[in-house]
Chain A
Amino acid sequence: MGKTVVEKILARAAGLPEVTAGDVVEPRVDVAMSHENAALVINQFLEIYEGTGVTAHPWDVSKIAIIFDHRVPAESPKTASNQKKIREFVDAHRISRFHDVRGDVGGICHQILPEYGYVRPGQVVVGTDSHTTSHGALGAFSFGIGATEMASVWTLGVALNVEVPPTIKVEVNGEFPPHVGPKDLILHLVGKLTAQGANFRVLEFHGETMRKMSTSGRLAVCNMSVEAGATSGIVPADEETLRYLREEAGVTDPVEPVVPDADAVYERVVTVDVSTLEPQIACPHTVDNVKPISEVAGVKVHQVVIGSCTNGRIDDLEAAVNIIRGKKVAQGTRMLVFPASGRVFQEALDRGYVSDFMRAGAVVMNAGCGPCLGVHEGALGDNEVAVSTTNRNFKGRMGNPKSEVYLCSPAVAAASAVAGVLADPRKGS
């Protein structure tokens, strides 16, 4: 019986000849990623060893990555103290994959992991962040866990009691129309599957559209797979994956792609034809409340946000800058841009994008999670509306339960900034 890509990855990581959806395994972990919540992981990790007489030391520090992104630079003494505590732990245990608050190697965890070649096809990747699903874009099985579970991984080097998830095959075909892209695809899919439609399941992406899609687009698609409840999204590694790893992530050592069998058993198959897709908008307050732009255009917008682990890469900034260059952000609307990493920021500077954004009236912020999760900047006022390229629009997500967030692509966000209302980028302005 044929196997899905995740069944093959988990069999290998668990040292078993084969596994099937529903089996319970303890896979070896290849990458264990945390951000500022490493402060809680450290507490739990030390508690595991408390009273045992055994000195606490992680199983393999070369597999741990810690990246500050949620609150950079620190917004409060409490955060600064958490970050300080993590730095001390990193120093004490000589964790080299540590990305501090820096303009060169800093950035959002889900951008840093691929950029630095930490993630490879066939690996098991866990992260204390729900958007760890992103790394399925490189053909890894990558999923979010809690801080206590990460402490367990740091201790044992395996993820305990992982149930092999059933897989939904998503077959994507057709050519994207102008100003429609990967973000519109994943928003459409989340709307179609619903917010819990893929709970405890993997979304495995196939089809001509996926084959032609850049790794950046695949990262956006896998990133938001969790918004349909999926344990992970995954694009089986192909030529584009190898190109990205060699040319963009600087990987020189051997890469072993893991691909599904042709007769793999899927729970079901979902097909999407993107050739007739309009720009998609996730309306307040759930990510599966998705409508085509034609149904919601015209909503007054107070804040436009471009960035995040979903859409803060150079091609995202390019799509936005191509719309806003030479124009102005509308009066009464503010536009915030935050590149996903220092490297993306540098590239945006080199290409003149930062200047284009600023001349248009946008505020370009440092790389990081920015306003996405409402912790330290870019908060919304009562009854204000944001249009954002981020991944969640839950009530209060951007810091104010009395505000609304609409999710969209960078093209829609830029067109809306110019128009001051939710706008269709295909119509120009």
Chain B
Amino acid sequence: MGKVAFVVGDDVSTDVIYPGRYMATVLPTETPQFAFANDPALNAKLNAKEVPPGSVLVGGKNFGCGSSREQAVSCLKGWELTIVASDVARIFLQNSINLGLNIITAPGVEASIGDEVVVEGKKVVNRTTGKSWDVVPLPPARQAIIDAGGLIACTRKKMLEARAKG
């Protein structure tokens, strides 16, 4: 993790993260260019490649609400962003885990662009302001998918195990 590149408010929907008109684009290699496409400044900042991998997007409550479109996750993962939000909508959180987008829930988290935000133990720490917030741990079942290398790898392993058992 590193410097905060983006701060967005509450209820940022997947329609904002990845507008519906780009949904016919499905390849994770092609979705990042359309991240936040309705916000010209934000989208331009990403496409200008000014945001180094590991940069942080700080969200408010209900981040990723709305549509189940997975492109909203793959487009952020493509830029190797880390998401830290007060809370995350269910399907978005699940999609993030399945695809391996680094996402952290820390209720109340606050930061400004340029702040340095890191995880220390069970806390998210804003090193610039000195404030810190508790991380909500992932339920063990979700952590298991991350540990297996994402849902594709996890499913492949289970499929092969089931076949081996006959």
Interface residues, chain A, CB within 8 Å of chain B?
A: 24, 36-37, 39-40, 43-44, 47-49, 52, 54, 70-71, 76, 78-79, 82, 128-130, 132, 144-149, 151-152, 155-156, 160-161, 163, 195-196, 199-200, 229, 231, 286, 373-376, 392, 394-397, 399, 401
Contact = CB atoms under 8 A, between A and B. Distances in A.
Point out which of B27, B38, B70, B90 has the most chain A C-beta atoms below 10 A from its C-beta.
B90
Contacts of A152: 98, 151-152, 154-155
Point out which of A129, A195, A231 has the most chain B C-beta atoms below 10 A from its C-beta.
A195
B152 A151 contact: yes
Contact of B20 (A146, A286, A374): A374
B68 A146 contact: yes
B151 A145 contact: no
A132 B68 CA distance: 10
Contacts of A231: 90
Contact of B68 (A79, A144, A374, A401): A144
B151 A373 contact: no
A195 B25 CA distance: 28
A52 B153 CA distance: 11
A128 B89 contact: no
Nearest to A163: B139
B143 to A, nearest CB: 10
Given A152-B155, A373-B15, 14 more contacts: A39-B26, A78-B25, A82-B26, A132-B68, A148-B99, A148-B152, A152-B152, A160-B155, A160-B158, A163-B141, A196-B89, A286-B11, A395-B13, A395-B15
A394 B16 contact: yes
Contacts of B99: 146, 148
Contacts of B38: 395-396, 401
B65 A229 contact: yes
Is the interface on chain B under 10, 10 to 19, 20 to 34, or 35 or more residues? 35 or more
Nearest to A158: B158
B163 interface: yes
Q: Is the interface of B mostly helix, strand, loop or mixed?
A: helix
B159 interface: yes
A149 B23 contact: no
B140 interface: yes
A373 B155 CA distance: 31
Point out which of A160, A231, A399 has the most chain B C-beta atoms below 10 A from its C-beta.
A160
A126 B141 CA distance: 19
Pairs of residues from A and B, 7 with the lowest C-beta to C-beta distance, nearest first: A161-B141, A146-B95, A196-B62, A24-B141, A394-B13, A401-B38, A40-B26
Interface in B1-29: 11, 13, 15-16, 19-21, 23-27
Nearest to A78: B24
6 contacts: A71-B24, A195-B65, A373-B20, A394-B11, A396-B19, A397-B15
B47 interface: no
A129 B68 contact: yes
Contacts of B162: 156
A54 B162 CA distance: 12
Nearest to B63: A196
